[in-house]
Amino acid sequence: MADRNFLRDFPIFHGNPPAYLDNSATTQKPDAVVRAICGYYGGCNANPHRGVYDWSVKATKIYETARASVQKFINAKSPAEIIFTKNATESLNLVAYSYGLANLKADDEILITISEHHSNLVPWQMVAKKTGATLNYIYLARDGNLSDAEISAKLTRRTKILAVTQVSNVLGLINDVKTLAAKAHEVGAVIVVDGAQSVPHIPVDVQDLDADFLAFSGHKMLGPMGIGVLYGKKNLLEEMPPFLSGGDMIEYVEEQDTTFAELPNKFEAGTQNVGGAAGLSAAIDYIQKIGFDEIARVEKNLTALAIGALKKLPYVELYGCDSERGNKIGIVTFNIRGAHPHDVATILDAEGVAIRAGHHCAQPLMKYIGQNATCRASFYFYNTIEDVGRLVDAVAKVRKVMHLD
Protein backbone atom coordinates (compact mmCIF):
# COMPACT_ATOMS: atom_id res chain seq x y z
CA MET A 1 0.00 0.00 0.00
CA ALA A 2 1.27 3.48 -0.71
CA ASP A 3 2.18 5.07 2.56
CA ARG A 4 0.23 8.32 2.89
CA ASN A 5 3.27 9.82 4.57
CA PHE A 6 4.95 10.14 1.19
CA LEU A 7 2.32 12.67 0.17
CA ARG A 8 3.32 14.98 3.00
CA ASP A 9 6.77 15.30 1.45
CA PHE A 10 5.30 16.81 -1.72
CA PRO A 11 4.07 20.43 -1.48
CA ILE A 12 1.85 19.99 -4.55
CA PHE A 13 -0.13 17.24 -2.80
CA HIS A 14 -1.06 19.41 0.19
CA GLY A 15 -4.70 20.51 0.20
CA ASN A 16 -7.07 18.78 -2.14
CA PRO A 17 -5.05 17.52 -5.10
CA PRO A 18 -6.32 15.47 -8.05
CA ALA A 19 -5.41 11.82 -8.33
CA TYR A 20 -2.23 12.53 -10.27
CA LEU A 21 -1.77 9.59 -12.65
CA ASP A 22 0.51 11.10 -15.26
CA ASN A 23 3.83 10.17 -13.69
CA SER A 24 5.27 8.81 -16.92
CA ALA A 25 4.98 12.30 -18.37
CA THR A 26 6.57 13.92 -15.32
CA THR A 27 6.68 13.23 -11.59
CA GLN A 28 5.98 15.61 -8.73
CA LYS A 29 8.82 17.06 -6.66
CA PRO A 30 9.39 16.48 -2.95
CA ASP A 31 10.34 19.31 -0.58
CA ALA A 32 13.91 18.04 -0.50
CA VAL A 33 14.27 18.66 -4.24
CA VAL A 34 12.64 22.10 -4.10
CA ARG A 35 14.90 22.99 -1.17
CA ALA A 36 18.04 21.84 -2.98
CA ILE A 37 17.20 24.04 -5.98
CA CYS A 38 16.32 27.04 -3.80
CA GLY A 39 19.40 26.41 -1.67
CA TYR A 40 21.63 26.72 -4.70
CA TYR A 41 19.94 29.80 -6.18
CA GLY A 42 19.54 31.47 -2.79
CA GLY A 43 22.95 30.44 -1.46
CA CYS A 44 25.74 30.37 -4.03
CA ASN A 45 24.43 30.92 -7.56
CA ALA A 46 27.39 31.54 -9.87
CA ASN A 47 28.76 30.22 -13.14
CA PRO A 48 30.52 26.91 -12.42
CA HIS A 49 33.96 25.88 -13.74
CA ARG A 50 34.89 29.50 -14.46
CA GLY A 51 35.28 31.61 -11.33
CA VAL A 52 37.90 31.31 -8.58
CA TYR A 53 35.68 33.11 -6.05
CA ASP A 54 33.75 31.32 -3.34
CA TRP A 55 30.28 31.11 -4.95
CA SER A 56 31.63 29.83 -8.26
CA VAL A 57 33.74 27.22 -6.48
CA LYS A 58 30.64 26.16 -4.50
CA ALA A 59 28.54 25.99 -7.69
CA THR A 60 31.21 23.78 -9.28
CA LYS A 61 31.23 21.56 -6.21
CA ILE A 62 27.43 21.15 -6.25
CA TYR A 63 27.49 20.32 -9.96
CA GLU A 64 30.32 17.79 -9.72
CA THR A 65 28.90 16.22 -6.55
CA ALA A 66 25.64 15.68 -8.45
CA ARG A 67 27.59 13.99 -11.23
CA ALA A 68 29.20 11.64 -8.70
CA SER A 69 25.79 10.90 -7.24
CA VAL A 70 24.41 9.95 -10.70
CA GLN A 71 27.52 7.85 -11.31
CA LYS A 72 26.91 5.83 -8.15
CA PHE A 73 23.16 5.61 -8.77
CA ILE A 74 23.62 3.81 -12.10
CA ASN A 75 26.96 2.23 -11.13
CA ALA A 76 29.04 3.83 -13.87
CA LYS A 77 32.78 3.25 -13.57
CA SER A 78 33.76 6.91 -13.68
CA PRO A 79 32.19 10.38 -13.38
CA ALA A 80 33.72 11.07 -16.80
CA GLU A 81 31.04 8.74 -18.20
CA ILE A 82 28.17 10.95 -16.95
CA ILE A 83 27.22 13.75 -19.32
CA PHE A 84 24.58 16.21 -18.15
CA THR A 85 22.08 17.21 -20.83
CA LYS A 86 18.65 18.89 -20.90
CA ASN A 87 16.69 15.65 -20.96
CA ALA A 88 16.60 12.11 -22.37
CA THR A 89 15.74 13.53 -25.79
CA GLU A 90 18.93 15.58 -25.92
CA SER A 91 20.94 12.60 -24.65
CA LEU A 92 19.61 10.38 -27.44
CA ASN A 93 20.23 13.08 -30.04
CA LEU A 94 23.79 13.39 -28.75
CA VAL A 95 24.45 9.70 -29.37
CA ALA A 96 22.70 9.70 -32.75
CA TYR A 97 24.46 12.77 -34.11
CA SER A 98 27.87 12.22 -32.54
CA TYR A 99 28.31 8.43 -32.47
CA GLY A 100 25.86 7.68 -35.29
CA LEU A 101 27.15 10.17 -37.86
CA ALA A 102 30.77 9.24 -37.11
CA ASN A 103 30.30 5.47 -37.30
CA LEU A 104 27.50 4.64 -39.73
CA LYS A 105 27.81 4.21 -43.46
CA ALA A 106 25.55 3.07 -46.28
CA ASP A 107 24.45 -0.57 -45.88
CA ASP A 108 24.85 -0.47 -42.11
CA GLU A 109 21.70 -1.02 -40.08
CA ILE A 110 20.26 0.75 -37.08
CA LEU A 111 17.84 -1.52 -35.24
CA ILE A 112 15.13 -0.13 -32.97
CA THR A 113 11.83 -1.47 -31.65
CA ILE A 114 8.34 -0.51 -32.75
CA SER A 115 7.59 0.61 -29.19
CA GLU A 116 10.18 3.41 -29.16
CA HIS A 117 9.27 6.90 -28.03
CA HIS A 118 9.84 9.43 -30.85
CA SER A 119 12.97 10.60 -28.99
CA ASN A 120 14.62 7.24 -29.66
CA LEU A 121 13.22 6.99 -33.18
CA VAL A 122 13.24 10.31 -35.04
CA PRO A 123 16.97 11.01 -34.39
CA TRP A 124 17.77 7.57 -35.86
CA GLN A 125 15.59 8.30 -38.90
CA MET A 126 17.50 11.55 -39.44
CA VAL A 127 20.89 9.90 -39.02
CA ALA A 128 19.88 7.00 -41.29
CA LYS A 129 18.93 9.50 -44.00
CA LYS A 130 22.22 11.36 -43.63
CA THR A 131 24.43 8.26 -43.67
CA GLY A 132 22.51 5.95 -46.01
CA ALA A 133 22.13 3.40 -43.21
CA THR A 134 18.88 1.43 -42.99
CA LEU A 135 16.49 1.78 -40.06
CA ASN A 136 14.95 -1.56 -39.08
CA TYR A 137 12.32 -2.45 -36.50
CA ILE A 138 11.82 -5.26 -34.01
CA TYR A 139 8.08 -5.95 -33.69
CA LEU A 140 6.21 -7.27 -30.69
CA ALA A 141 4.81 -10.61 -29.63
CA ARG A 142 1.08 -10.82 -28.84
CA ASP A 143 1.61 -9.94 -25.18
CA GLY A 144 3.43 -6.70 -26.08
CA ASN A 145 6.90 -8.02 -25.24
CA LEU A 146 9.63 -7.94 -27.89
CA SER A 147 9.38 -11.02 -30.07
CA ASP A 148 12.41 -13.31 -29.65
CA ALA A 149 12.03 -14.50 -33.24
CA GLU A 150 12.14 -10.89 -34.41
CA ILE A 151 15.28 -10.19 -32.39
CA SER A 152 17.04 -13.24 -33.84
CA ALA A 153 15.99 -12.38 -37.37
CA LYS A 154 16.76 -8.67 -37.28
CA LEU A 155 19.94 -8.44 -35.19
CA THR A 156 22.69 -9.33 -37.67
CA ARG A 157 26.29 -8.49 -38.50
CA ARG A 158 24.96 -5.52 -40.47
CA THR A 159 23.46 -4.05 -37.28
CA LYS A 160 25.79 -1.37 -35.95
CA ILE A 161 23.46 0.22 -33.41
CA LEU A 162 20.66 -1.36 -31.39
CA ALA A 163 18.62 1.42 -29.78
CA VAL A 164 15.95 0.17 -27.42
CA THR A 165 13.80 1.45 -24.62
CA GLN A 166 14.17 -0.40 -21.33
CA VAL A 167 10.51 0.30 -20.55
CA SER A 168 7.85 1.33 -23.05
CA ASN A 169 6.06 4.54 -22.04
CA VAL A 170 2.82 3.14 -23.48
CA LEU A 171 2.81 -0.54 -22.50
CA GLY A 172 4.94 -0.23 -19.35
CA LEU A 173 6.70 -3.51 -20.17
CA ILE A 174 10.33 -3.95 -19.14
CA ASN A 175 12.62 -5.22 -21.89
CA ASP A 176 15.46 -7.59 -21.02
CA VAL A 177 18.22 -5.14 -21.86
CA LYS A 178 20.99 -7.31 -20.41
CA THR A 179 20.25 -10.10 -22.87
CA LEU A 180 19.81 -7.62 -25.71
CA ALA A 181 23.18 -6.04 -24.88
CA ALA A 182 24.89 -9.44 -24.98
CA LYS A 183 23.26 -10.23 -28.33
CA ALA A 184 24.15 -6.82 -29.76
CA HIS A 185 27.78 -7.22 -28.70
CA GLU A 186 27.91 -10.72 -30.25
CA VAL A 187 27.25 -9.18 -33.68
CA GLY A 188 29.57 -6.22 -33.04
CA ALA A 189 26.84 -3.61 -32.46
CA VAL A 190 26.58 -1.05 -29.66
CA ILE A 191 23.43 -0.82 -27.57
CA VAL A 192 21.78 2.51 -26.77
CA VAL A 193 19.29 2.20 -23.92
CA ASP A 194 16.46 4.67 -23.46
CA GLY A 195 16.07 4.66 -19.69
CA ALA A 196 13.53 7.50 -19.44
CA GLN A 197 10.85 5.16 -18.04
CA SER A 198 13.12 2.64 -16.32
CA VAL A 199 15.63 4.61 -14.24
CA PRO A 200 12.88 6.16 -12.04
CA HIS A 201 11.24 2.78 -11.36
CA ILE A 202 13.76 -0.09 -11.34
CA PRO A 203 17.42 -0.41 -10.34
CA VAL A 204 19.60 0.22 -13.38
CA ASP A 205 23.24 -0.86 -13.23
CA VAL A 206 25.01 0.05 -16.45
CA GLN A 207 27.93 -2.30 -15.79
CA ASP A 208 25.66 -5.24 -15.06
CA LEU A 209 23.59 -4.50 -18.20
CA ASP A 210 26.77 -3.86 -20.19
CA ALA A 211 24.96 -0.89 -21.78
CA ASP A 212 27.07 1.22 -24.10
CA PHE A 213 24.83 4.28 -23.69
CA LEU A 214 21.93 5.06 -21.36
CA ALA A 215 19.71 8.14 -21.56
CA PHE A 216 17.27 9.46 -18.96
CA SER A 217 15.55 12.62 -17.67
CA GLY A 218 15.61 14.11 -14.17
CA HIS A 219 12.00 15.30 -14.23
CA LYS A 220 10.56 11.76 -14.48
CA MET A 221 12.36 10.76 -11.26
CA LEU A 222 11.35 13.54 -8.86
CA GLY A 223 14.01 15.96 -10.17
CA PRO A 224 13.44 19.24 -11.96
CA MET A 225 12.80 19.74 -15.67
CA GLY A 226 15.81 20.79 -17.74
CA ILE A 227 18.35 18.25 -16.50
CA GLY A 228 18.99 14.90 -18.13
CA VAL A 229 21.79 12.38 -18.31
CA LEU A 230 23.69 10.52 -20.96
CA TYR A 231 25.83 7.68 -19.68
CA GLY A 232 28.38 6.38 -22.17
CA LYS A 233 31.28 3.97 -21.89
CA LYS A 234 34.43 6.04 -21.61
CA ASN A 235 36.23 4.46 -24.57
CA LEU A 236 33.24 5.24 -26.82
CA LEU A 237 32.75 8.80 -25.57
CA GLU A 238 36.46 9.50 -25.97
CA GLU A 239 36.34 8.60 -29.65
CA MET A 240 33.18 10.60 -30.36
CA PRO A 241 33.24 14.15 -31.76
CA PRO A 242 31.51 16.90 -29.75
CA PHE A 243 27.78 17.35 -30.35
CA LEU A 244 27.43 21.03 -29.35
CA SER A 245 30.40 23.38 -29.27
CA GLY A 246 31.28 26.65 -27.59
CA GLY A 247 32.31 27.64 -24.07
CA ASP A 248 33.62 25.18 -21.47
CA MET A 249 34.05 22.24 -23.87
CA ILE A 250 37.39 23.34 -25.26
CA GLU A 251 41.02 22.88 -24.28
CA TYR A 252 42.52 25.48 -26.59
CA VAL A 253 41.03 27.62 -29.35
CA GLU A 254 43.00 29.19 -32.17
CA GLU A 255 41.64 31.24 -35.06
CA GLN A 256 41.03 28.23 -37.28
CA ASP A 257 41.16 25.25 -34.97
CA THR A 258 40.17 23.94 -31.56
CA THR A 259 41.23 21.13 -29.29
CA PHE A 260 38.56 19.81 -26.98
CA ALA A 261 38.31 19.38 -23.23
CA GLU A 262 38.53 15.99 -21.56
CA LEU A 263 35.37 14.06 -20.70
CA PRO A 264 32.78 14.90 -19.55
CA ASN A 265 33.26 18.60 -20.41
CA LYS A 266 33.74 17.83 -24.12
CA PHE A 267 29.98 17.19 -24.29
CA GLU A 268 28.83 20.00 -22.00
CA ALA A 269 29.05 23.20 -24.03
CA GLY A 270 27.90 26.45 -22.47
CA THR A 271 26.74 27.32 -18.95
CA GLN A 272 25.27 24.25 -17.33
CA ASN A 273 22.17 23.68 -15.20
CA VAL A 274 23.65 23.67 -11.69
CA GLY A 275 20.28 24.15 -9.99
CA GLY A 276 18.93 21.21 -12.00
CA ALA A 277 21.88 19.05 -11.02
CA ALA A 278 21.37 19.97 -7.36
CA GLY A 279 17.70 19.00 -7.65
CA LEU A 280 18.50 15.74 -9.42
CA SER A 281 21.01 14.81 -6.75
CA ALA A 282 18.41 15.45 -4.02
CA ALA A 283 15.90 13.36 -6.02
CA ILE A 284 18.34 10.46 -6.15
CA ASP A 285 18.85 10.69 -2.37
CA TYR A 286 15.08 10.62 -1.87
CA ILE A 287 14.56 7.64 -4.19
CA GLN A 288 17.35 5.75 -2.46
CA LYS A 289 15.77 6.39 0.92
CA ILE A 290 12.54 4.84 -0.27
CA GLY A 291 14.27 2.04 -2.17
CA PHE A 292 13.34 0.33 -5.42
CA ASP A 293 11.79 -2.64 -3.62
CA GLU A 294 9.20 -0.36 -2.07
CA ILE A 295 8.67 1.52 -5.34
CA ALA A 296 8.03 -1.77 -7.17
CA ARG A 297 5.81 -3.10 -4.41
CA VAL A 298 3.51 -0.06 -4.47
CA GLU A 299 3.42 0.19 -8.26
CA LYS A 300 2.70 -3.52 -8.73
CA ASN A 301 -0.08 -3.42 -6.19
CA LEU A 302 -1.77 -0.34 -7.66
CA THR A 303 -1.33 -1.60 -11.23
CA ALA A 304 -2.85 -4.98 -10.42
CA LEU A 305 -5.79 -3.30 -8.68
CA ALA A 306 -6.39 -0.93 -11.59
CA ILE A 307 -6.10 -3.65 -14.24
CA GLY A 308 -8.36 -6.00 -12.26
CA ALA A 309 -11.05 -3.35 -11.86
CA LEU A 310 -10.87 -2.05 -15.44
CA LYS A 311 -11.05 -5.59 -16.84
CA LYS A 312 -14.47 -5.90 -15.22
CA LEU A 313 -15.80 -3.07 -17.38
CA PRO A 314 -16.80 -4.75 -20.66
CA TYR A 315 -16.28 -1.60 -22.77
CA VAL A 316 -12.66 -1.10 -21.65
CA GLU A 317 -9.84 -2.39 -23.82
CA LEU A 318 -6.40 -2.66 -22.19
CA TYR A 319 -3.00 -2.66 -23.89
CA GLY A 320 0.17 -4.32 -22.58
CA CYS A 321 -1.63 -5.74 -19.57
CA ASP A 322 -1.40 -9.46 -20.40
CA SER A 323 2.32 -10.14 -19.97
CA GLU A 324 2.74 -13.10 -17.67
CA ARG A 325 6.37 -12.29 -16.93
CA GLY A 326 5.59 -9.73 -14.24
CA ASN A 327 7.84 -7.34 -16.16
CA LYS A 328 5.70 -4.25 -15.85
CA ILE A 329 6.02 -0.88 -14.16
CA GLY A 330 2.99 1.15 -13.07
CA ILE A 331 1.54 1.99 -16.48
CA VAL A 332 -2.04 1.11 -17.43
CA THR A 333 -3.02 1.99 -20.98
CA PHE A 334 -6.61 1.61 -22.13
CA ASN A 335 -9.43 2.81 -24.32
CA ILE A 336 -13.16 3.03 -23.74
CA ARG A 337 -15.21 1.75 -26.64
CA GLY A 338 -16.95 4.60 -28.46
CA ALA A 339 -15.11 7.37 -26.61
CA HIS A 340 -12.13 9.32 -27.90
CA PRO A 341 -9.27 9.26 -25.39
CA HIS A 342 -9.21 13.08 -25.26
CA ASP A 343 -12.88 13.10 -24.25
CA VAL A 344 -12.15 10.42 -21.64
CA ALA A 345 -9.25 12.44 -20.21
CA THR A 346 -11.40 15.59 -20.09
CA ILE A 347 -14.21 13.79 -18.27
CA LEU A 348 -11.68 12.24 -15.86
CA ASP A 349 -10.20 15.67 -15.23
CA ALA A 350 -13.63 16.93 -14.22
CA GLU A 351 -13.70 14.03 -11.74
CA GLY A 352 -10.31 15.05 -10.33
CA VAL A 353 -8.25 12.39 -12.10
CA ALA A 354 -5.24 13.45 -14.18
CA ILE A 355 -4.25 11.00 -16.91
CA ARG A 356 -2.61 11.41 -20.30
CA ALA A 357 -4.45 10.78 -23.57
CA GLY A 358 -3.03 10.80 -27.08
CA HIS A 359 -0.34 9.01 -29.02
CA HIS A 360 2.20 9.38 -26.20
CA CYS A 361 4.92 10.35 -28.71
CA ALA A 362 4.88 6.78 -29.99
CA GLN A 363 2.92 7.00 -33.23
CA PRO A 364 4.46 3.92 -34.92
CA LEU A 365 3.45 1.87 -31.88
CA MET A 366 -0.08 3.31 -31.97
CA LYS A 367 -0.36 2.29 -35.61
CA TYR A 368 1.02 -1.16 -34.77
CA ILE A 369 -1.62 -1.74 -32.10
CA GLY A 370 -4.32 -0.34 -34.40
CA GLN A 371 -5.17 2.77 -32.37
CA ASN A 372 -4.81 6.48 -33.08
CA ALA A 373 -4.60 7.29 -29.42
CA THR A 374 -5.06 5.75 -25.98
CA CYS A 375 -5.63 6.78 -22.38
CA ARG A 376 -2.76 6.16 -19.98
CA ALA A 377 -2.73 6.11 -16.18
CA SER A 378 0.80 5.97 -14.79
CA PHE A 379 1.60 5.44 -11.12
CA TYR A 380 4.50 6.26 -8.85
CA PHE A 381 5.17 5.21 -5.27
CA TYR A 382 3.23 8.15 -3.80
CA ASN A 383 -0.03 7.09 -5.45
CA THR A 384 -2.63 5.40 -3.30
CA ILE A 385 -5.45 2.88 -3.43
CA GLU A 386 -7.82 5.87 -3.27
CA ASP A 387 -6.26 7.17 -6.50
CA VAL A 388 -7.05 3.84 -8.18
CA GLY A 389 -10.60 4.00 -6.86
CA ARG A 390 -11.05 7.53 -8.24
CA LEU A 391 -9.70 6.39 -11.62
CA VAL A 392 -12.00 3.39 -11.86
CA ASP A 393 -15.08 5.32 -10.66
CA ALA A 394 -14.40 8.08 -13.17
CA VAL A 395 -13.87 5.60 -16.03
CA ALA A 396 -17.15 3.94 -15.11
CA LYS A 397 -18.95 7.30 -15.58
CA VAL A 398 -17.55 8.16 -19.02
CA ARG A 399 -20.06 6.35 -21.20
CA LYS A 400 -22.99 7.75 -19.22
CA VAL A 401 -21.65 11.31 -19.46
CA MET A 402 -21.24 10.82 -23.21
CA HIS A 403 -24.73 9.29 -23.55
CA LEU A 404 -23.25 6.10 -24.99
CA ASP A 405 -25.21 3.78 -22.69
- What is the binding site for ligand C6P (CB under 6 A)? 24-25, 87-89, 117, 119-120, 165, 169, 194, 196-197, 217, 356, 360-361
Nearest CB to ligand C6P, comparing residues 217 and 281: 217
Nearest CB to ligand C6P, comparing residues 336 and 365: 365
Annotated catalytic residue: which of 38, 44, 321, 361?
Answer: 361
Nearest CB to ligand C6P, comparing residues 69 and 120: 120
Q: What is the dihedral of CA 269, 270, 275, 276, to 10 degrees?
A: -40
Q: Which of 270, 286, 274, 285 is nearest to 43 (CA)?
A: 274
Closest distance of CB 223 from ligand C6P, Å: 11
Verify whether residue 321 is a known catalytic residue: no
Closest distance of CB 192 from ligand C6P, Å: 11
Closest distance of CB 173 from ligand C6P, Å: 12
Closest distance of CB 88 from ligand C6P, Å: 4
Nearest CB to ligand C6P, comparing residues 28 and 165: 165
Nearest CB to ligand C6P, comparing residues 117 and 233: 117
Closest distance of CB 306 from ligand C6P, Å: 17
CA distances from 268 to 228, 256, 343 (A): 12, 21, 42
Nearest CB to ligand C6P, comparing residues 60 and 85: 85
Closest distance of CB 158 from ligand C6P, Å: 25
Closest distance of CB 280 from ligand C6P, Å: 12
Nearest CB to ligand C6P, comparing residues 277 and 361: 361
C-alpha neighbours within 13 Å on the C-beta side of residue 296: 11
Catalytically active residues are 361
